[in-house]
Amino acid sequence: MKNKIKFIILILFGLLINCTEKEPEIVENMFLKDIPQISVFDATNITKNSAKVIAQIVSNNENILSYGFCWSKYDTVPTINDSKIELDLKENITNFEYDLQNLDSSSIYFTRAFAQNEKDISYSKTIKVETLPYVGEVVFYLSSNVGSYVVISGTDNTGKSYSGTITKYLTSGTPECGRDGCVTFSMPEGDYEFWANSSFSYTFVQFTVIKNQCTKVWVLL
């Protein structure tokens, strides 16, 4: 009987040890503490085909072998295997910036800063840069008296809304953009379909805006 009790006690003791055993510790990559750490990354001065990108190395900025920016239109997490610029080396690099040039208008680019030492390479977070579109002008006009006001309205390819009222009609010729009594919008280039509404009728008006040009649209109701 005593032997049986001892056996049961040993089993319970073994179970207690297994239940209180510590889980294995997760050991971090020892190199992570030795590579450059990049933060405060931003994009400013965004135009139709350029943008200024800014970054800062906040630690381990000694013995930098290369640093700069990389970017891509298609890879949301770009690396130095994509488009890149390596900046001039100097001692104890902290803040650095670069003007990305020759970008496509109305496009989205993904960009990151990078820095590399003898241990490894590190990257900043990804910043999305959306370049501005080229713009043109469009003028809407009437060539006859329809006996009513005509409202032109619609949205462009960025979601911006437009609305204006034609208050006069032309007796001859075509107007220049900005003509009094007509409706003129400055818009991103592209193909559009707007509404033309009067008190008694409406229609769709299709037109194309071309960069740096004035598109003339005759509204026929």
Please check whether residues 126 and 146 belong to one and the same domain. no
- How many whole angstroms from its chain centre is CA 198? 39
Query: Is the pLDDT confidence value at 16 over 80?
Result: no
Note the pLDDT of residue 60: 83
Please check whether residues 71 and 121 belong to one and the same domain. yes
CA atoms within 13 A of residue 203's CA, in its CB half-sphere: 7
Structural contact between residues 156 and 140, judged by C-beta atoms closer than 8 angstroms: no
Please check whether residues 71 and 95 belong to one and the same domain. yes
Mean pLDDT, residues 162-168 taken together = 96
Structure tokens at 61: 């900025």
- Block residue for tokens 């109305």: 106
**Is 159 inside any structural domain?**
yes
Please check whether residues 149 and 201 belong to one and the same domain. yes
Distance of alpha carbon 37 from alpha carbon 56, whole angstroms? 8
Q: How confident is the model at residue 139 (pLDDT cuts 50, 70, 90)?
A: very high
Note the pLDDT of residue 192: 97
Please check whether residues 47 and 126 belong to one and the same domain. yes
Give the domain range for residue 123.
31-130
Please check whether residues 126 and 214 belong to one and the same domain. no
**Is 20 inside any structural domain?**
no
- The enclosing domain of 78 has a CATH number of 2.60.40.10
Please check whether residues 69 and 159 belong to one and the same domain. no
**Is 8 inside any structural domain?**
no
Structure-model confidence comparison of residues 170 and 15, the more confident one: 170
Please check whether residues 91 and 104 belong to one and the same domain. yes
According to DSSP H, which parts of 31-89 are helical? none
Which residue, 69, 103, 130, sits at the end of a domain? 130
Please check whether residues 116 and 178 belong to one and the same domain. no
